[in-house]
Structure 1
């Protein structure tokens, strides 16, 4: 019996020791130098509401890095939906030496045709022919020449026929680009005979001009890295593109293949293209400001350049509402990182806290877009009016939620850049 008691006591001690070892440590702390500097800049500017901050130096460094990686082997097309601000696009177009933009909705198309008439625009998704009809009905003319500077994206013979009827009814020459499926299976032409049918439709219509092909391939970086799986998918995608490009050139016999647009990639995969394949241009957008969804090995050389900054409204010991206090006491006793609560101005964004460290949303309290609570140990040392920084997971849509972009460089807020209205 004595031996049994000693064994049980020893086992109990081991269990207690194991539980203590599993207990979370304090992950908190104050802002580091970088975010302390951003916070001071926003305070000097008198900002007291949530804002989207763009670190201009980091953004410019990202743009320079993308240009360096492409190394003149491919043309670059900037994605407007991921960089939804005319001044932001202007700066990046200047830095990357391109006037090519990819557009995903009718309002942006109309805005860019009017406000940036020297740009070359490629639709990034097929739109109903009714949307194209609206564009021509409301187009006020000017320097922008749709027949030369605009490529409508088509994905099926049926949609191409709709655009043909529009062209004939309105007597508008249309430049069309065909979406091809290189493995993503989200749409686009998959079969050789379908592509040939569409190419023949284009050749037979005097009001059509062939713009090229578009093959989007973000799936290549999301495939599980099993032996050969990712590399095989990349080989297949490039082989499909090469086959379809060759079919287009054989069928239409253009005078200059180099003048056509063979668009590929996106921010996650642009580095998989080096000019040796069928594609002659790549699209890049979000990588320029690098939200967290783009933390991938191929983008390791880029820096986060966009952050949500929001003031703390209330700070104190974290308490769950009446009726749930017992659960709260257990949670805070177990995890020091749930003992302090910071209610912030706004919240529930598609973003995650990054500074000061050790903050997280409370799974017990729930989310709020009015006054989100973030919990921590209290070692963050935040008081009301201090800033908390969150990193967006995406740039599209999230960058547009704050009315303007606050551009910061060298410790100062330099510009307030208006954003384009949020549109699907």
Structure 2
């Protein structure tokens, strides 16, 4: 029998612990720049752009539009989500490419802007608005734009709000199209089949100033639920069951023929591919998947391509990373993590976005974030000079797109157009 001394065990244990630590030591992630981003950089240089800019790749955008349309089952309509694509020119292009005349809008300025620019578009509110906002909308319309108001579906979530909109319609001598918000599992408000929905359907049936246009049931929570133990599938079945119960109740009060002609809106970018028939919904809404920010890097959206990037010039490029007040620690930090070896400071920063080119760049947690000159660190192979561009992928589109002025449209190797964005509003 072989005896192992306590000292030998201690030495061996220490060696294993040291090996485990070394296995967690970061590797150098820096390297050559991606030719795609070098092409974007050349286009920005040629266009004379020298400040933080939101870039949309038109070819990738078109591919994403085509991908979405190709996944829709027969009879399924597509509604463009305006908050995720906050530019009239961008949405006009998507309308033309997709063939859709349906928009989902989210505030009174959007309603007014589309009523003027696209009066033929059918607008469904993506959230219930205070009745005062609806009143402001009607007051904002010029006489020549008034006809566009008939193309709006006002989203209603409670009996109280329905009564407010009925009074608005009566006072203004209008007929308002009403779409009812359903709670199909998100629990962010809305209606379920039951006495409240029954009473609201009766109000719609008996109020000549109100026209019932359909239902909206939003279920983005499905994509966030784990597939393990069937949780996601049960939630999906539950959402469709709740939607079906509301449809059955509407058919009881209004007749099956009326219900067959209603808008039955559902989904969003993370979930639109779940709808393989029109049994529950007859239209899906989506927007973000067409430009694909990082929050939409999901298995269901794998066929979609990242089509939007933040580009910003490098102001300073440092051969070594030095932290104020912690200069003594820099050498040890670089020895442990080679990705902290070199530094660039960019024009602006603190965006909801991740750096993607040059490779291996990351925010420095010790230095912190900056909206003026963002510090990014990289490995020994980081090679970027002042006035060259760092590229980021936004986490989302609806807020981030509004921070850079006109969108730069990248097409056929150059910046072909600039698309103005909406004014920032809730």
- Quickly name the TM-score band, shorter chain normalised: over 0.9
Match of 2:80 among 71, 78, 81: 78
Closer, same or farther in 2 for the Cα pair 1:258/1:96, shift >3 Å? Answer: farther
Q: Does the CA contact (< 8 Å) of 1:73 and 1:274 recur in 2? A: no
User: CA distance change for structure 1 residues 202 and 10 in 2, over 3 Å: closer, same or farther?
Assistant: closer
| Aligned residue in 2 for 1:413 | 415
Q: TM-score, normalised by structure 2?
A: 0.95
| Cα shift readout 1:58-96 (whole Å, capped 9, x = no counterpart) | 000000011110144311000011001111001100111
- The answer to whether structure 1 residue 218 and structure 2 residue 209 are counterparts is no
Residues in 1 aligned to 2:149 and 2:252: alpha-carbon distance in whole angstroms: 24
Kindly indicate whether residue 349 of structure 2 is the aligned counterpart of residue 354 of structure 1. no
2:164 aligns to what SS in structure 1? helix
Match of 1:319 among 319, 322, 347: 322
Q: Does the Cα contact within 8 Å between 1:356 and 1:388 map onto a contact in 2?
A: yes
Separation (CA, whole Å) in 2 of partners of 1:31 and 1:400: 28
Q: Equivalents in 1 of 2:146, 2:251: separation in Å?
A: 28
Q: CA RMSD in A?
A: 1.8
Measure the CA separation in 1 of the matches of 2:73 and 2:346: 44
Give, in angstroms, the shift of residue 171 of structure 1.
Answer: 1.5
Q: Find the partner of 1:200 among 194, 199, 202.
A: 202
Change over 3 Å in CA distance of 1:241–1:337 after alignment to 2: same
Query: Residues of 1 paired with 2:13 and 2:251: CA distance?
Result: 76
Q: Deviations over 1:170-216 (max 9, x none)?
A: 21211110000000001101241111110111111110000100000
Q: How has the CA–CA distance of structure 1 residues 255 and 231 changed in structure 2, closer, same or farther, with 3 Å as cutoff?
A: closer
SS of the equivalent of 1:227 reads: helix
What are structure 2's unaligned runs of at least 5 residues? none
Report the CA distance between 1:144 and its aligned residue.
Answer: 5.4
Matched position secondary structure for 1:413: strand
Corresponding residue for residue 176 of structure 2: 174
In structure 2, the residue matched to 1:164 is 166
Residues 20 and 165 (structure 1), Cα distance of their counterparts in 2 relative to 1, 3 Å cut: same
Q: Where does structure 1 lack aligned partners over 5 or more consecutive residues? A: none
Question: Contact between 2:28 and 2:380, CA under 8 Å: does it hold in 1?
Answer: no
For residues 310 and 414 of structure 2, what CA distance do their matches in structure 1 show? 16
| Partners of 1:143 and 1:21 in 2: CA distance | 66
1:167 CA displacement: 1.2
TM superposition shift of 1:327 = 3.9
Which of 253, 264, 267 is the aligned partner of 1:251?
A: 253
**What residue in structure 2 maps to residue 98 of structure 1?**
100
The alignment's TM-score, normalised by the length of structure 1, stands at 0.95
Residues matched between the structures, number: 422
* From 20, 36, 39, the counterpart of 2:38: 36
Which stretch of the first structure deviates more once superposed, 68-77 or 128-137? 68-77
Correspondence for 1:88: 90
Following superposition, the deviation at residue 333 of structure 1 comes to 2.4
Residue aligning to 1:154: 156
Q: Give the alignment partner of residue 141 of structure 1, picking from 140, 143, 148.
A: 143
Task: Mark the CA change 1:18 to 1:239 in structure 2 (over 3 Å): closer, same or farther.
Answer: closer
State the shift of 1:103 in Å.
Answer: 0.3
- Structure 1 equivalent of residue 374 of structure 2: 372
